[in-house]
Structure 1
């Protein structure tokens, strides 16, 4: 039975995190993973190119070598193993699983905050402090999205939790009360 990309990502990403923890190189490996995530985000077809059978090994090797350049031994070995097993399409999932594990261990929560206008840095800091307390996190990283239909207030999405404090929602509630 073939494994899906998410399962493969979880297995390899967790294994890389556990190895980095054992070797005491988590932060260095994290930096490499973030750099690789950016490369795969900038070049979405990279995994397909390195997995595709139309290119020869000699044509693929320079690309792999450039990905490995400057990386820690653990990341170089991961790249080589994933390449050898023909799973380069799964690299974004592997990298995401590593980052997810890193965030979990370090108490980092990513929150998507939707507002009618962009939040100032002071507002983001205050919200981050409140969310950290509410969610029991050490650090909250906020990604602010502007949606004028919110009218006012905020919609916060973090840790599978949605807090809708928007005026749009309150108006909808008032409408429901009036319509009975």
Structure 2
């Protein structure tokens, strides 16, 4: 069974349990915290993925790191994962939980790559426009790529809108090349 399939099943189980207990948003916040800790601490990830390190040791590490800081539901969920030998995919399960949560809440992630950093006002306006177009809540991230020269490229799911100068120059070049033949 693929890692994605396993992660998806565990994430759906956690989401369903959180729904039953009426604390989906609290669990989501705690899962975001877990993801941040795992991504910033490669040593912790290596420990969790190491099959030589005992289940008890992994459980003790997770308990000492998160006890009193996250919802007890999640801490017991970690315990189940560790006992089932799934600590090695804890990050993938957490990321899949966030994806499932976003799907349930109607949240769509989008990115905008621009030649210069966009102001908060411009980001909000663009997010609002995208939200109107797709009829969903949008979480928009901005990255800078100076090779675009000017303009921006927006990605929402599998759709992309290229309004960059570099993109327009590439289209123009392709047009001239096709006309020269």
Fold in common (TM above 0.5): yes
Aligned to 1:169: 167
Distance of 2:120 and 2:59 partners within structure 1: 45
CA distance change for structure 1 residues 166 and 77 in 2, over 3 Å: closer, same or farther?
Answer: same
Q: C-alpha offsets along residues 118-171 of structure 1, whole Å, 9 cap, x if unaligned?
A: 001111011011110112212x22211111111111101122211111111111
8 A Cα contact 1:156 1:164, kept in partner: yes
Q: How far does residue 67 in structure 1 lie from its aligned partner after superposition?
A: 3.9
8 A Cα contact 1:155 1:166, kept in partner: yes
* Runs of 5+ unmatched residues, structure 2: none
8 A Cα contact 2:49 2:89, kept in partner: no
Q: Which moved more, 1:50-59 or 1:164-173?
A: 50-59
8 A Cα contact 2:28 2:98, kept in partner: yes
Distance of 2:149 and 2:49 partners within structure 1: 47
Q: 2:19 aligns with which of 6, 21, 32?
A: 21
Aligned to 2:144: 146
Q: How far does residue 55 in structure 1 lie from its aligned partner after superposition?
A: 3.1
Q: How far does residue 176 in structure 1 lie from its aligned partner after superposition?
A: 2.0
Aligned to 2:38: 40
Aligned positions of 1:17-96 closer than 5 A: 17-57=15-55, 59-70=57-68, 71-96=70-95
Distance of 1:57 and 1:153 partners within structure 2: 51
8 A Cα contact 1:36 1:67, kept in partner: no
SS for the counterpart of 1:118 is coil
SS for the counterpart of 1:152 is coil
Q: C-alpha offsets along residues 25-45 of structure 1, whole Å, 9 cap, x if unaligned?
A: 101111111111111111234
CA distance change for structure 1 residues 44 and 145 in 2, over 3 Å: closer, same or farther?
Answer: same
Q: C-alpha offsets along residues 87-134 of structure 1, whole Å, 9 cap, x if unaligned?
A: 111111110111111111222221111010100111101101111011
Distance of 1:133 and 1:59 partners within structure 2: 49
Aligned to 1:12: 10
SS for the counterpart of 1:50 is helix
Q: How far does residue 4 in structure 1 lie from its aligned partner after superposition?
A: 1.9
CA distance change for structure 1 residues 103 and 82 in 2, over 3 Å: closer, same or farther?
Answer: same
